[in-house]
Chain A
Amino acid sequence: MSILVAIITLTVISTIFGVLLGYTSVKFHVEGDPIVDKIDALLPQTQCGQCTYPGCRPYAEAITSGEAGINQCPPGGEATMLALSDLLGIEPVALDEEHADEPQKTVVYIDEQICIGCTLCIQACPVDAILGAAKQMHTIIENECTGCDLCIPPCPVDCIHIKTVKPEQDTWRWSLPASTETAPKA
């Protein structure tokens, strides 16, 4: 008897809840996905397609469906990625390498086997970061190099190469705050 009461009660209550939820989902149905509009509003609307989607709205839809990451918009850069991560409540991720245009710190180095000691690069260097004398092998003072690459074109033997430097513990700096002003339109 007792077991019958339990079964009936549970069945009745489950049915009531099921009907209630079913009714609510019809009654309170929300048209479309409002989140796509919100994501679309955050994107720069350049329709550049660098995210591999045919425009900003398709990219927004791809983000919503989980197909695309939030880090594929080069024109928006880090600011857009952070805004998206705030909106969607997901962790900020580094900009995708393929789509990134954030400048990376680079320095140059001289392949000393090839260097002929012509001093042309020394004259080109604006910060005196190249050490050497005529007919002597040159070398680059890495700490002084700004990565301007001005020494590369004058080199007659193409012995100067670019390499990227990862920030170390003592060279890492806070990134500069993004400017809130927009450039005047030409």
Chain B
Amino acid sequence: MTEYALILISTIWVNNFVLVKFLGLCPFMGVSRKLETAIGMALATTFVLTLSSICSYLVNQYILVPLDIIYLRTIMFILVIAVVVQFTEMVVHKTSPVLYNVLGIFLPLITTNCAVLGVALLNTQEGHGFLQSVFYGFGAAVGFSMVLILFSGIRERIAAADVPEVFQGTAIAMITAGIMSLAFMGFIGLVN
């Protein structure tokens, strides 16, 4: 049990995917301008990350390793993630318009999020078991969501603030992200 709790703490705070590992920066900058869209993106990412870490574990364990073709990992994971996301999008679109409304626009976007592939590859690299992979993916997603929502909150405030002309727009967002990253570096050494 402690092991899983440690994985969660590690992925959320210490090895945060956005601010420490610098993965998934594109949606972090792109979808953080409004709090509502950030929350939608966060939910969708949590869903996809957890699902894709499960699928990529299964593919790796039961197809790639037995056939001794682990060098096909990257291309296989991309394929699996894309298909899973596309499949989910279509099913959700048909069965639950409300959920589709929240996640729909973001699901295809996330397929190309490097954090998703990053989680799948890191899972195999560190030799995680099934449950460990699930928790690792989920923790990464929670960390991503938390940072994205915090950042969009800050950006909404910055939008109303009197920023000097040279720093306006993306520049101040980059600086803010840098300072957030510095703050998260403070967790290093808490757990591995």
Chain A residues packing against B (C-beta within 8 Å): 2, 5-6, 9-10, 13-14, 17, 20-21, 24-25, 28-30, 34, 86, 89, 91, 169
User: Can you list 14 A-B contacts (CB < 8 A)?
Assistant: A5-B68, A9-B67, A9-B69, A10-B72, A10-B75, A10-B76, A13-B76, A13-B79, A17-B83, A21-B90, A24-B91, A25-B90, A91-B34, A169-B162
Least CB separation from B68: chain A residue:
A2
A5 touches B69 (CB 8 A): yes
In the complex, what residues of B have CB within 8 A of residue A86's CB? 36
In the complex, what residues of B have CB within 8 A of residue A34's CB? 97
In the complex, what residues of A have CB within 8 A of residue B34's CB? 89, 91
| Interface check B40, CB cutoff 8 A | yes
| Interface check B87, CB cutoff 8 A | yes
B83 touches A30 (CB 8 A): no
Given contacts A28-B93, A30-B93, contact A21 B87 (CB under 8 A): yes
B90 touches A6 (CB 8 A): no
A20 touches B87 (CB 8 A): yes
A6 touches B93 (CB 8 A): no
Least CB separation from B91: chain A residue:
A28
Given contacts A2-B69, A86-B36, contact A24 B63 (CB under 8 A): no
In the complex, A30 Cα to B72 Cα: how many Å? Answer: 35
In the complex, what residues of A have CB within 8 A of residue B157's CB? none
Mask: chain B, 74-90; 1 = CB below 8 Å from A; 0 = not? 01100110010011001
A9 touches B90 (CB 8 A): no
| Interface check B155, CB cutoff 8 A | no
In the complex, what residues of B have CB within 8 A of residue A29's CB? 94
| Interface check B179, CB cutoff 8 A | no
B36 touches A30 (CB 8 A): no
Tell me, rounded to whole Å, the shortest Cβ–Cβ distance linking A127 to chain B.
31
In the complex, A14 Cα to B105 Cα: how many Å? Answer: 25
In the complex, what residues of A have CB within 8 A of residue B67's CB? 5-6, 9
In the complex, A86 Cα to B37 Cα: how many Å? Answer: 9
Chain B stretch 6-44: residues in CB contact (< 8 A) with chain A: 33-34, 36-37, 40
Least CB separation from A10: chain B residue:
B72
In the complex, what residues of A have CB within 8 A of residue B93's CB? 28, 30
Tell me, rounded to whole Å, the shortest Cβ–Cβ distance linking B32 to chain A.
12
B90 touches A28 (CB 8 A): yes
Mask: chain B, 85-124; 1 = CB below 8 Å from A; 0 = not? 0110011011101000000010000000000000000000
A6 touches B69 (CB 8 A): yes
A14 touches B79 (CB 8 A): yes
In the complex, what residues of A have CB within 8 A of residue B69's CB? 2, 5-6, 9
Q: Which 4 A-B pairs have the closest CB atoms?
A: A28-B94, A17-B83, A6-B69, A28-B90
In the complex, what residues of A have CB within 8 A of residue B97's CB? 34
Given contacts A20-B83, A21-B86, contact A89 B37 (CB under 8 A): yes
